[in-house]
Structure 1
Amino acid sequence: LLNKMIINHSCPGCPLFRKSARQGVKVPVSSGTLHIHAQSSFYVQHGVRFNGKPVSDLRCKGVRKDAPILYPPTKMDHFGFAQGFHNKYEVNEFLGSGTFGSVHVATHKDTGERFAVKVAVKRRIGTYLQHDFVKRIQHEVDMYNHLGKSLNVVHMYDVFEDDKHVYLVMDLCSGGELWGRIKRGQYNEQNAARIISEILRTIAQCHSRGVVVRDVKPENFLFQDESPSSPLKMIDFGIAEYCAPHQQLHDRAGTALYCAPELLKGNYSFKADVWSAGVIAYELIADRMPFEDDDGGMLVSSLRTTRRNLSNKDIFHAILYRPLDFERPPWPSISDSAKDLVQRLLTRNPDERPTALEALHHPWLEAAAADANSTRRSGWLSSRSSSSSGLRDVCGRVQGAGGGLWEANPSNMSHLWRLCGIWCLVQGLCMA
C-alpha cells in the first residue's frame, strides 16, 4: 500500500508520518514542515485519523507545543469582495513578490492615478477556500480598515476578487525599502533621528488603535518617493494583532533579529514593538546589529554581508542574554543623547522600556526635530522675503501703469494691496 515516503522536514519523529504509513497513505513531502502540507489538504482528503480523531483536531507534536491546529477547508468559495477589478484598473509593471502573492503597479482607467495592487492567488481545497488563506486575507483587510488613512501607514483603498485572485488596492510607494537605504551606509545623527521618529510615530499610531505590529523591521517600511525627505510608510500587517491596554499576548510571531526578549518568552504586549524600533535605530546609527556573540565579538559585524546567515538559536540566545555593544565605533563619536535613546529602547525589561509615545518625546528626537524646523523656517523666510520684494515691485509697476488710478479712486489700490497681502499669506503657508 505504501510505495515510498520522502521524509525531509523539521520533525522526523512526528506521529503524522508514522500513523499515515500504518494507514497506507503515501505522504508527498519534499520540503518544508509536515503541518503546512497537512494544512493544504492531504490528510483531510485521505481521512487520516489519530486515536479516533480527525487530523484537523490535532497538533503536530514534533514541531512545538503551540504549533497551529491543522485546519480543514472552510465552507467558503468566495469572500464577498467587489468584482470587476480589471474593469477599473489596468495592471502595469511588476514590483515584487512574497508569500502573500505578487505586487504590481495598477493605473485607474478613469483618473490615471497610480496605485500598488497586491494580487493573492486563491488557495483552495477542492472547491472551498483554504482556512489559513481565508484567515490571512480577512485579517489583513480588517487591519487596514481598522488603522485607516495615516501619514505613516500605507492606505488600502479597495478590495476586489474574482474566481482565482484577491486584489488589494494600496498606496503606491516608489522610494524603495528602508532596508535598501540602510545597506548604502551609516546614517548621520540628524537623518537617523528623522527616520526613528517616523518609525516610532507609526508604532504609536498603531498602539493608539489597539494594534501590536509584531513585525517592525526595515523591510516593512517603504519611502513614499525618492526624495531625501520622503515620509516612511509601513506596509505589512499580516501578523499584527489586536491587544487591549493591559492584555498580554502569548503566541510567538515576528522576524528573529527584531523579536523582543519578552516575545521570545511568550508574554508580551505593546512594548515589544518598541524593542524592534530600538534594533532598527541601532542599525541606522552603527550599521550593524547590537548583539555580541559568545566570544565577545559582534554577532553581525556588517549588515551588508552576514545579517541573514545566522541560526535562530544563536539570535535568540543573543537577544535574551548577550551584552549589547555601545563601546565599539561609531558609538564613541555618537552624542550621549542619541546613545541614551537607543539604550532605553533596547532595555530588556519591558517595564523599564518607554512606550512609543514616550520615546517620541525624548530630548534627542525633539532637538533634531527643532533643528529641522529651524532650517525649514530660515529657508522659508529667505524665500518669502525675496517673493515679497518681487511682489512690491509688481504692485508698483501696476500702480505706475494705472496712471491716475490712485488719485481717481484710492479704494481700488487699497483693494489691490489687500489682495497682495492675502497672496503673500497663502504663499507663505504653502511654502511652510
Structure 2
Amino acid sequence: MICIRKHAIIDQHYLLFIQDSNICIGKNYANPKYVLPINLQSKLEWSFDKELCQFDGFTIEWKHQKKLFNMSDIDCRRLKSLIDGKILYKEINSQYFPIQIVGEGTFGKVIKVVSLIDRKEYACKVMKLNQKFSKNDIIYELMTMQSLNHENIVKIKEVYSSKSHFFIIMDYCRGGTLREYMAFRTLNQDQIVIIMKQILNALIYMNSKGYIHRDIKPDNILLREENDVSSIQVCDFGFAARVEDIFIKHPNCGTPGFMAPEVIKYDQTNPYNEQCDVFSCGSLLYSILTGYNLEVQSEESEIYNIEAQVYEERQFTSCNNQFKNILLKMLETCPNQRITAKDAQIYFENFDLYLLEEQNSLDVTQKIKHIPIKKNGFNQL
C-alpha cells in the first residue's frame, strides 16, 4: 500500500505495511518512519467523502502532532479490513448515521445505525466514561470480545471513541432480545432446547478461553433474525472476566435474580469460577418456563427472588415439567455439585433420551431453598 504526506514543496511517498502488530509507514521495509501499534490505545481518523462514498486518507497522532496521509480508496479499505475492531477510530459521525435507540442498560444504550459505506444496518453500543466504569473497564471489555470468536457470541466490527464516549459497532440482530421475544409468546419444548444448547455452547467456548460471563439473562441473548431462535448470540461483556481477574473486576457483579449464590456471597476466601454461569443459565431457563421476571428492581429487596416462593408447582405446565430435572441440576446452590456447562449441553443434545429415564423425577419445589440477602451484606446459607 502507498500513502502520501503532502508538503509545501515536495510531497513524500511512503510504503504502508503491517508488521509485528504495527502499522508501519516509511520509505522502505527496513526502517519505517512512523510505527503505530495496532491496539485499543492507538487512534486513527479516516478521511471519508460522504458524497462520493470514498476514502481518501487517514490521520494519526504522532509525537503529539496530527499527521495526515493521503491514500487511495482501495488501499484505505484494505487497511481498514486489517485493523477493524483492533484500533480506536475517531469521528463516528463521518461513517454512520443514527436511526433509533433499540436498547438501554447498565453500561449505556444501543442505537441502530446505518453505515455510509455499505448502507447496511448495524448496532452501536454507546458507553459513557464515568466514575463507575472507567476507560480501563471498557478497554478490558473490548479486549475480552476481541479474544472470542464464536458463532453464538456477538462480534466487534469497529470501535470509535471520543473524549467522553466509546462507540462499539456490531452486527444488528433483527430479532431483538430474548426477553422481547418471550414477551408475546410461549416457547415450545423444541425452541427451549435450541436456545439452551446455543447459550451453553457459547459458555463452553468462553470457559475454554478462560473467561466467564457473569451476566447471563434474557436481555443479553440476541436473536439474529425476527421470530427465529435457531441463531442466537450472547452479548454484553461488561461483567465478563478471566477467572484469575475476578477479584479485581467487580467480583460481586451481575443482575439480581440471575446471580449465583457464590457470586452474591463472594469474598477473597470464597472464590468462584465458571460454574456461576451455569446457575445463571438455570435462572434463565426458569424465566423461560414460567414467564416470571426474576430481576430484583428494588435495592431494598431482602430476598433473592430466584429461590424464593416463586417456585410453585402451579408455575409448571405439562410441557415444561419435562425440564424440572435439568433445572434442578443447574440451580444447585453448591457450585461443586452443580452440573457443568458441558454436561448440561450434552443433556440438551440428548433431551428426549434423558426424558425417558426421568419419568419419576423429583419435584423441583421440594429441592429449592431460599437465599436471604441484605442490602449491605449477604447472609451465609
User: TM-score under structure 1 normalisation?
Assistant: 0.54
Contact 1:248 1:269 in 2 (8 A): no
Could you tell me how far apart the structure 2 residues matched to 1:193 and 1:312 are? 35
Residues 263-274 of structure 1 aligned to structure 2 (within 5 Å): 263-266=263-266, 267=270, 268-274=272-278
Q: Which has the larger radius of gyration?
A: 1
Larger strand proportion of the pair: 2
In structure 2, relative to structure 1, the CA distance for the partners of 1:307 and 1:95 (3 Å cut) is closer
Contact 1:215 1:255 in 2 (8 A): yes
Helix, strand or coil at the partner of 2:126: strand
Could you tell me how far apart the structure 1 residues matched to 2:247 and 2:346 are? 25
Shift of 1:106: 2.4
Contact 2:256 2:295 in 1 (8 A): no
In structure 2, relative to structure 1, the CA distance for the partners of 1:192 and 1:133 (3 Å cut) is same
Could you tell me how far apart the structure 2 residues matched to 1:207 and 1:197 are? 15
Helix, strand or coil at the partner of 1:361: helix
Contact 2:195 2:230 in 1 (8 A): no
The answer to whether structure 1 residue 142 and structure 2 residue 126 are counterparts is no
In structure 2, relative to structure 1, the CA distance for the partners of 1:85 and 1:308 (3 Å cut) is same
Please list every run of 5 or more consecutive structure 1 residues that lacks an aligned counterpart in the other structure.
1-78, 124-129, 289-302, 370-432
Shift of 1:248: 12
Contact 1:216 1:258 in 2 (8 A): yes
- Residue 88 (structure 1) aligns with: 95
- Residue 237 (structure 1) aligns with: 237
- Residue 282 (structure 1) aligns with: 286
In structure 2, relative to structure 1, the CA distance for the partners of 1:260 and 1:163 (3 Å cut) is closer
Residues 374-393 of structure 1 aligned to structure 2 (within 5 Å): none
Residues 326-341 of structure 1 aligned to structure 2 (within 5 Å): 327-330=313-316, 333-334=318-319, 338-341=323-326
Helix, strand or coil at the partner of 2:238: coil
Could you tell me how far apart the structure 2 residues matched to 1:329 and 1:223 are? 26
Could you tell me how far apart the structure 2 residues matched to 1:131 and 1:280 are? 27
- Residue 361 (structure 1) aligns with: 346
- Residue 98 (structure 1) aligns with: 105
Contact 2:200 2:345 in 1 (8 A): yes
The answer to whether structure 1 residue 157 and structure 2 residue 157 are counterparts is yes
Contact 1:189 1:285 in 2 (8 A): no
Identity, % of aligned pairs? Answer: 26
Contact 1:94 1:104 in 2 (8 A): yes
Contact 1:188 1:285 in 2 (8 A): no
In structure 2, relative to structure 1, the CA distance for the partners of 1:170 and 1:252 (3 Å cut) is same
Could you tell me how far apart the structure 1 residues matched to 2:98 and 2:251 are? 38
Could you tell me how far apart the structure 2 residues matched to 1:202 and 1:309 are? 28
Helix, strand or coil at the partner of 1:354: coil
Instruction: Tell me whether 152-161 or 236-245 shows the greater mean CA deviation.
Output: 236-245
Helix, strand or coil at the partner of 1:119: strand
Helix, strand or coil at the partner of 2:127: strand
- Residue 167 (structure 1) aligns with: 167
Residue-by-residue CA offset, 1:119-141 (whole Å, 9 max, x unaligned): 33455xxxxxx684212221111
Could you tell me how far apart the structure 1 residues matched to 2:215 and 2:94 are? 35
Aligned residue type for 2:242: Y
User: TM-score under structure 2 normalisation?
Assistant: 0.61
Residue-by-residue CA offset, 1:409-432 (whole Å, 9 max, x unaligned): xxxxxxxxxxxxxxxxxxxxxxxx
Shift of 1:235: 1.6
In structure 2, relative to structure 1, the CA distance for the partners of 1:218 and 1:152 (3 Å cut) is same
Contact 1:278 1:346 in 2 (8 A): yes
Could you tell me how far apart the structure 1 residues matched to 2:298 and 2:126 are? 31
Please list every run of 5 or more consecutive structure 2 residues that lacks an aligned counterpart in the other structure.
1-85, 354-381
Shift of 1:251: 2.2
Shift of 1:227: 3.2
Pairs aligned (count): 265
In structure 2, relative to structure 1, the CA distance for the partners of 1:248 and 1:347 (3 Å cut) is farther
Helix, strand or coil at the partner of 1:328: helix
Shift of 1:323: 7.4
Could you tell me how far apart the structure 2 residues matched to 1:368 and 1:248 are? 42
Aligned residue type for 2:311: D
Residues 102-117 of structure 1 aligned to structure 2 (within 5 Å): 102-117=109-124
Aligned residue type for 1:101: G
Contact 1:260 1:319 in 2 (8 A): no
